[in-house]
Structure 1
Amino acid sequence: MEGQPDVEQRNRDQMDCEREPEEEEWKSWQRGEVRNMLHIVSAAAQWILLLACLIYLGINSLQPSTPRSSRVLWTHIRYTGESIEQVAVNLTAEVGSIQIRNGSIMIASDGLYLVSLKGSVLFNDPDALKLTLQKTDNKTSKVLWEQTVQDSGDAVNFTTVLYLFTQDNITLWTSSNATIADLSFSLVLLSPLHLLAVEDGV
């Protein structure tokens, strides 16, 4: 009978040892679920924004036209190639009516633009890399968007609406030497600024 408590203690210890890995596995699974949920929420928000912009475009196209150029300003870029630290990525248009000069997208009309950028970045630097979308005019430079890429090969996915102005030049930069893979970059003029002012009664 004296050995009975020892056996029970050993059984209890064994059960505790078996429970600990299960608890760790459960916590790890929970962390993964939270991370996955954040990715889903982020993706859903981007799609909702894109859908809202497309609905806006559809409604705008159904309204009676005012005297203006019928040509829609847009560009679509596909790029795979090298990027040099602190040098603008040498973008070239695949299709579209917006001019690109020396890797810079030349904005020809004030207005509201839909911007979409997707791809992945490969780099050897042990530190994280920054991918930056920048606008430059005659006097100043301004960062429009910046994403830190933690691991080589990580996906970049960015969709937003921006006010851009005539004479703005849009460029893409990386903070260190890298290879940009399967970059898809689109810029579409949703509504010229003077039409927005008319619609708002200004």
Structure 2
Amino acid sequence: MEGNTVTVCDCRDLHKKNNCRNRLLFISAVIQWMLMIVCIACIAIIFHSTDTEKKKIETYVQTIQKKTFVSAEIEPDTYNIGKLNLKQRSGNLNVTNGSVIIAADGLYLVHLEGYLRDKNNNNTVTVWKWNEEENKTLLMTESINGHCIRTVLVKELMQKDKIYIEKERPDLFSNFSLFVYGIDLKC
């Protein structure tokens, strides 16, 4: 009989141990599910914020396209050394005396693009900013080795600044354009 009592006690202890283990397994399973839900929520937040950033970038691009810009090209009769005479192709910024006139203070994206007639020749193109207080200030200098040039610069410009281009050698360009876009960051 004593053996039976011991066996009954062992079964009760075993049952308690199983209950304890089952509770621990249940609690750990609940914690794992909660962590998985938190991870899924974090991933959703990351994807949502990425979409928000994409929307902000698209808004900036649309703002650039809608607001202040000019597309200017070089007149064919000015392919000589020195200042290139720009003429307005499109946009609402003025081009006067071969220079782009900035209408308002702010950040501007300046994009320079051109092609050389002869791939073997080199040329240096300089974009200048001129205003009454500072006179002539360098915006960018590009040395062209090869067939084409494409350069982008973001710069803070002031009202009535004049942007113009100079080159080192004559008659090398087959097509050359300057694009100036005003960037409005108050979206």
TM tier, smaller: 0.5 to 0.7
Matched AA of 2:130: T
Structure 1: runs of 5 or more not aligned? 1-50, 62-70
Q: Partner residue of 1:161?
A: 154
Q: How many angstroms does 1:160 deviate by?
A: 2.2
Paired residues for 1:76-115 under 5 Å: 76-79=71-74, 81=76, 82-86=78-82, 88-115=83-110
Matched to 1:114, the amino acid is: L
Cα RMSD (Å): 3.2
Report how far residue 185 of structure 1 moved. 2.3
Matched to 2:145, the amino acid is Q
**What SS class does the counterpart of residue 84 from structure 1 fall into?**
coil
The code of the aligned residue for 1:130 comes to T
- How many Å apart are 1:184 and its aligned residue? 3.1
Matched letter for residue 75 of structure 1: V
Question: Any conservation in 2 of the 1:79–1:180 contact (CA below 8 Å)?
Answer: no
Q: 1:133 aligns with which of 111, 127, 130?
A: 127
CA distance in 1, matches of 2:182, 2:136: 21
Aligned residue type for 2:81: E
Distance 1:148 1:103, change over 3 A: same
Evaluate the alpha carbon distance shift between residue 79 and residue 53 of structure 1 in structure 2; reply closer, same or farther with a 3 A threshold: farther
**Alpha-carbon spacing, 1:187–1:54, altered in 2? closer, same or farther (3 Å):** farther
Matching residue of 2:22: none
Identity of aligned residues (%): 18
TM-score, length basis structure 2: 0.59
Alignment of 1:1-202 (within 5 A): 54-55=57-58, 57=60, 72-79=67-74, 81=76, 82-86=78-82, 88-122=83-117, 128-139=122-133, 140-151=135-146, 154-191=147-184
Q: CA offset at residue 115 of structure 1?
A: 1.6
More strand by share: 2
Alignment partner, residue 44 of structure 2: none
Distance change in 2, residues 1:78/1:161 (3 Å): same
Question: Secondary structure at the residue paired with 1:92?
Answer: strand
Aligned residue-pair number: 131
Which 5+ residue runs of structure 2 have no aligned equivalent?
1-53
